[in-house]
Amino acid sequence: MKQRRKRFGPPAGLRERVVTSGRRWETQGPWRTVLLWRLRFAYRRGAPAQLLAERYGGGPPRDAASAPQAQA
């Protein structure tokens, strides 16, 4: 990662202020927000979907065979 960053050069400083919203932090709380950051990072590193689902708290992902069939 460090080598990839070096190719782009040093970070650019912004002259203007950046304004962000704290709504997610306020509504979901810091632990939930940080958990989602960690899940995104794990996804980008190639973590299996099963592991991400377990950490998120949803159960194991459904496969097509176990999904309910639509009535025709």
Query: pLDDT tens across 16-72, in order?
Result: 887 777 887 888 888 888 888 899 999 999 999 888 888 888 655 555 555 555 554
> What is the token pair recorded at 3?
């080598």
For the chain, the domain total comes to 1
User: Is residue 48 a part of any domain in this protein?
Assistant: yes
Q: Is residue 49 part of a domain?
A: yes
Q: Is residue 14 part of a domain?
A: no
Domain that holds residue 52: 28-58
Q: At what angle do helices 23-44 and 49-56 cross, to 10 degrees?
A: 160
Say what the pLDDT of residue 46 is.
94
In this prediction, residue 68 carries a pLDDT of 54
* 6 belongs to a structural domain: no
18 residue type, one letter: V
Q: Identify whether 10 is part of a domain.
A: no
Residue 69 lies in a domain: no
| Full-model pTM | 0.46
DSSP H helices, the chain, are: 2-8, 23-44, 49-56
